[in-house]
Amino acid sequence: MNNENKSIHDFDLQMICNFFSTMERQGPGSPEMTLKALGFVDHLTKNARIVDLGCGTGGQTMTLAQHIEANIIALDSFPDFIKILNRNAQGFNFQERVKGLVGSMDNLPFQENELDLIWSEGAIYNIGFERGLKEWRKYLKTGGYLAVSESSWFTDKRPTEINNYWMDAYPEIDTIPHQVAKIHQTGYLPVATFIFPENCWTEHYFAQKALAEQTFRHQYAGNKMAEEFMLSQRYEEELYAKYKAFYGYTFFIAKKIDL
Ligand code: SAH
């Protein structure tokens, strides 16, 4: 890739994506949680229309494909992730029914009332939880499902340090009852809600990040921005260890109903 004429922001993004591209998943989660959420989705036939938005390199897409017969379109805005996903799909021999697509979740290439299932793990925050719920609803058939994971507060009050961190990173983080209310208000039936266990963070995310860091360290040796990025990643992990009683990831499964 040619880095000439790229803004610092673009370079930054490319660097961050390089870091995450060696990982099986780019956010907290696990195959067990993906399957648990899938267990709440009824009536998926072989002809079901399924999309995975903000799929990353497709860790959860492959888990879904192993348990669903239908075709899956996996969409992400970062082309390198989609390349890796399509390569992995071939590796699993899923290339006929799992297709990675470069695109943006705020401008989806689908028809209204077309989809049976919209999946999105750790990605809806990119357009915001409520906006995602509202905008994606039209693509679902009535009775179609939405399964998304999102960060949640576990308590009404929390220490200033962690509150400030999230207000800066993603101020739309909210308590689970408020998030369920948003699901209800935007035209869905809340079907199930469950919190990710700690191993989704420690074993499936932070431990994988530590491995990714080894490669990254070589790739970006002497790069100041990369150093800063690694420090910020370590800070995120420290915060989780210290404040995990106050926040975490929640899976929300909901069904589109007529308003
Ligand atoms: N679902 C994956 C990846 C989560 S990370 C997992 O759980 O492992 C969030 C993903 O959202 C990243 O892959 C990022 O490239 C993607 N993303 C960010 N903005 C996006 C947008 N506007 N449209 C589509 N994908 C986006």
Question: Which protein residue's CA is at the shortest distance from atom 5 of ligand 1?
Answer: 26
Domains and CATH numbers, the chain: 3-256 (3.40.50.150)
Per-residue pLDDT of the chain (259 residues; tens, 9 = 90+): 444 445 556 668 889 999 999 999 999 999 999 999 999 999 899 999 999 999 999 999 999 999 999 999 999 999 999 999 999 999 999 999 999 999 999 999 999 999 999 999 999 999 999 999 999 999 999 999 999 999 999 999 999 999 999 999 999 999 999 999 999 999 999 999 999 999 999 999 999 999 999 999 999 999 999 999 999 999 999 999 999 999 999 999 999 999 8
Tell me the sheet residues that pair with 117: 50, 145
Q: List strand residue ranges (DSSP E) for 82-199, in order.
A: 98-102, 115-120, 140-153, 174-175, 188-195
Work out the number of other CB atoms within 10 angstroms of the CB of residue 19. Answer: 21
User: Ligand 1: distance of its center to the CA of 87 in Å?
Assistant: 18
Tokens, residue 182: 């948003």
Question: Which H/E stretch holds residue 91?
Answer: helix 79-91
Substitution candidate for ligand 1 out of 9, 52, 75, 76 with most atoms within 8 A of CB: 76
pTM: 0.95
Q: What does the mean pLDDT of the chain come to? A: 95
pLDDT tens for 76-118 read 999 999 999 999 999 999 999 999 999 999 999 999 999 999 9
User: Which atom of ligand 1 lies nearest, measured to the CA of 25?
Assistant: 8
pLDDT tens for 149-178 read 999 999 999 999 999 999 999 999 999 999
Question: Which protein residue's CA is at the shortest distance from atom 20 of ligand 1?
Answer: 77
